[in-house]
Structure 1
């Protein structure tokens, strides 16, 4: 059953990510900032790192263009995005995610996507809410939208269990460098 496969995969991936987090993220944020430099002026969505997630904040702060953070409006809905800048006041949103207390709502063209695991095909294992999959599907239906996976290299698995709604990443950034998916 797919739900059981994903549940087991999430537990194993969380353990691997915690070990990688303890070892540090090396040059991952530098690689991410370097890639994002090619997208100056575009609206970027990042995320506030939670638990043992790899930290995109240095790359987000360096981005030459508007930056926003995801806001979960409700179950089974796509994400919304509120403008963010370093030092902005944050409040706790759904699932304890920190979000800007105020700011304009933006529509990102490039999204830094967190995860528990990823595979060589460009698929990711999220937390089970489907928020990024729904959001990427909706944004990509309007215009080209880039999904940048950001994780520790140790989070790679042989194969992520897939469902028809899963959206593929365009590239993956880890402390080992950048990998593009065709």
Structure 2
């Protein structure tokens, strides 16, 4: 998932118009190149709009506390004892919910918390252990990351959502790193999308490379989960 526009290309019917006819029409296993370009172009616009509509810093404080409560409930119901489990969080950027206090509580409860790191462009992420106050360094896109070369394999991955739909799919920033990583990790981790309720979309028009999440949590609670 690149999220890049193809300048000068001819586009088929825009997916947003197709959704007005049949919101679930999109077949991710039958994508032609023109349709794929349409989806990439449409996602770029959707991504811009949803980033601009994110709540203010004052509003986020309450949202973050509520999100943490819902995540605690999901962890307890689906995973039980988290002691010793490797759980990947994220370092907040671009007005994402700041879950670092919640991550610190995971560490105190005995979990191994990690942060995703771009070690190589257009390759799967690596995951480096994090604890409150650990040494940090500037990494890809100038995002802070743990100052260590040690890596761990997460059993549970949190993914910040730019957008999300009711079928368990995530709109991210367009680089494809998260989907690429989920496809490469063995054993496959449980993937939990975390984001704002207002970022819900009728569909993201999933492509063959889009990986369905195991759960989606917003400030309004659990919005999606797989049966397993």
TM-score > 0.5, shorter chain as reference: yes
1:8 to 45, 62, 73: 45
Larger relative contact order (CA 8 Å, sep ≥ 6): 1
User: Which structure 2 residues correspond to residues 1-182 of structure 1 after superposition, within 5 A?
Assistant: 1-16=38-53, 18-19=54-55, 22-24=58-60, 25=63, 26-37=65-76, 38=80, 40=82, 41-63=84-106, 64-102=110-148, 104-139=150-185, 142-182=186-226
Inter-CA distance 34–181: structure 2 relative to 1 (3 Å threshold): closer
State the Cα distance separating 1:103 from its structure 2 match.
Answer: 5.6
Would you identify which runs of 4 or more consecutive aligned residues in structure 1 move more than 4 Å? none
- TM-score scaled by length of structure 2: 0.73
Structure 1 unaligned regions, length at least 5: none
Q: Which moved more, 1:99-108 or 1:166-175?
A: 99-108
Shift of 1:180: 3.2
TM-score (norm 1): 0.90
CA distance, structure 2, for counterparts of residue 14 and residue 39 of structure 1: 35
1:33–1:60 CA contact under 8 A, matched in 2: no
Task: Return closer, same or farther for 1:116/1:48 CA change in 2, 3 Å cut-off.
Answer: same
Structure showing greater Rg: 2
For the aligned residue pairs, the C-alpha RMSD in angstroms reads 1.7
Does structure 1 conserve the Cα–Cα contact (< 8 Å) formed by 2:161 and 2:196? no
> How many aligned positions are there?
179
How far apart are 1:10 and its partner, in Å?
0.7
Distance in 2, Cα, partners of 1:77 & 1:125? 19
